[in-house]
Structure 1
């Protein structure tokens, strides 16, 4: 799933950014030591830094799969979707060109805020739907601690979040239908065996007294 989302984002940005722009998915720390890029040969880096489950509208139970006769043949787990949060940075000849690249990403999102089926790759290509894309929003807070963890000085960046389902869902086969039923027939009602008496169990003795009339 994650690799297919990366490929889909690459296809989307490649169609929107100027020719010669490289698109990467590396941790920003790997790019911090590079020299300034040649003009019109910048890098837009899209680093995945957080994955959060989308809990809106998640079904509570497995879903039944039926054949043409209406019989249940298996069950599928509910389709779950996830918010994938990316840190988008630009690395170019100078700060002005870096801002130009980031502005092109914002413009591409303003024009179309989804990954349409034309850009979906891998297992996502069979989806008959578009994937929502949000710029400037993430379900997790991104503060200065992230830059410190990445070992990079703070720089201009964008949050880009794609919401995508986890595919494919695995089918759990149902138990096979009953073919034969074996019945045992008894001649009369069987008598259960007598319950054995426990060794420590004592038998109660009842005493009876009779009074004879005096003569």
Structure 2
């Protein structure tokens, strides 16, 4: 799911015209060594925090059916995660960096969700809304100053983008539907321990049990006649 969010963000920024103007969009960690190797104008979207939104955790399982309406699998509900990105612009002059950062900000605040047309993989299959927020980090998210300190770089103007995305639940295949009838054979054991030929009971239909279902009539011989109480054998 994480790489699919990355791809959606890359596509969103590409639609703003950054790539057309020769600006690279990367997801590298903006360390001091990385900054020294950079040569072209760049927008860096660095993922630095991943946390589950436990308030949205569901329970139960959904059912997956094939084209014929048969149950083929059961899927646990998705779990939601909050991904926080540090977005920075890199150019030869501060004015150019601020211009790039302004363009990125305009793009990110233009929508409160990642457009469905930009989603791929499981995010597209689930069909759920992927929220996009640029109001800042969450309550327990590290501050930008702490991130820059951990990266070993100098504090730089940046944006924080948060994406709340679903992680698809686990899918378990269901047993295949029964398509054959039921056959029951019974036999009696004699005094000598041998087995005498028994009766064979079979439902009349093997693929379609009929309107009565498998509780309907079965093929079997007539029941033996019972003697009334008081009758004597000849």
Instruction: Report the TM-score, using the length of structure 2 for normalisation.
Output: 0.65
Matched with 2:198 is: none
8 Å contact from structure 1 (residues 51, 84) kept in 2: yes
8 Å contact from structure 1 (residues 86, 161) kept in 2: yes
The reply to whether residue 86 of structure 1 matches residue 88 of structure 2 is no
Give the 3 Å change call, closer, same or farther, for CA 181–13 of structure 1 in structure 2: same
Q: 5+ unaligned residues in a row in structure 1: which ranges?
A: 187-215
Match for 2:23 among 21, 24, 27?
21
Q: 5+ unaligned residues in a row in structure 2: which ranges?
A: 189-234
Matched with 2:137 is: 138
- Count of aligned positions: 182
C-alpha separation in 2, matches of 1:9 and 1:132:
12
Give the 3 Å change call, closer, same or farther, for CA 131–98 of structure 1 in structure 2: same
Deviations 1:92-135, CA, capped at 9 Å, x for gaps: 12111111111111111222232102222344344535421111
Matched with 1:120 is: 119
Deviations 1:31-50, CA, capped at 9 Å, x for gaps: 32236x5xxx5100001111
**TM-superposed deviation, 1:85:** 0.8
8 Å contact from structure 1 (residues 135, 158) kept in 2: yes
Matched with 2:47 is: 48
8 Å contact from structure 1 (residues 116, 129) kept in 2: no
8 Å contact from structure 1 (residues 17, 101) kept in 2: no
Give the 3 Å change call, closer, same or farther, for CA 2–67 of structure 1 in structure 2: closer
- The structure with the largest alpha-carbon Rg is 1
Greater relative CO, 1 or 2 (CA 8 Å, sep 6+)? 1
Written as runs of structure 1 = structure 2, the 5 A alignment for 1:1-215 is 1-18=1-18, 19-29=21-31, 30-34=33-37, 37=39, 41-65=40-64, 73-139=72-138, 140-167=141-168, 169-175=169-175
